[in-house]
Amino acid sequence: MSRPKVAVAIPAYNESEGIGEFLLEIDEALAETGCDVVFVVVDDASTDGTVEAVEALRSKLSADLLLSSMPQNGGHGPAVLEAYRRSLECSPSYVLAVDGDGQFLGSDLRRLLVLLQDGGDGVCGVRRFRYDPWFRMAMTRVLRVYIGTFFGVPTRDANCPLRGYRAELLDELLKWLPDRSLIPNVHLAILAARRGATLVEVDVNHRVRRGAATTGTMFASAQRWGTMKRLLKFCGIALRESLRFHRDLNSGRRPMVNARG
Whole-number pLDDT of residue 199: 84
User: What's the burial of 21, exposed, middle or buried (CB within 10 Å: 0-12/13-18/19+)?
Assistant: middle
Please choose, from the candidates 242, 61, 221, 69, the residue with its C-alpha nearest in 3D space to the C-alpha of residue 159. 242
Q: Of 10-24, 76-90, 123-137, give the lowest mean pLDDT range.
A: 123-137
Average pLDDT of 241-254?
82
CA distance 48 to 70: 15
All structural domains of the chain: 5-251 (3.90.550.10)
Among 171, 62, 76, 74, which Cα is nearest to 122's? 171
Which residue(s) pair with 5 in the sheet? 36
For residue 255, which amino acid is it? P
Nearest alpha-carbon partner for 2 in 27, 37, 35, 33:
35
Separation between Cα atoms, residue 8 and residue 41, nearest integer Å: 8
Rounded to whole angstroms, how far apart are CA atoms 261 and 159? 23
Q: Tens of pLDDT along 85-127?
A: 999 999 999 999 999 999 999 999 999 999 999 999 999 999 9
Q: What is the pLDDT of residue 139?
A: 83
Q: Are 176 and 96 in contact (CB under 8 A)?
A: no
pLDDT in tens, 156-208: 999 999 999 999 999 999 998 988 899 999 999 999 988 888 889 999 999 99
What tens digit of pLDDT does each residue of 23-78 get?
A: 999 999 999 899 999 999 999 999 999 999 999 999 999 999 999 999 999 999 99
Is the pLDDT reported for residue 252 higher than 70?
no
Nearest Cα to Cα of residue 50 among 88, 90, 102:
102
Pairing verdict, β 94-97 and 5-12: parallel
CA distance 76 to 89: 20
| Closest by CA position to 184, among listed 193, 195, 173 | 173
Pairing of strands 122-127, 163-166: antiparallel
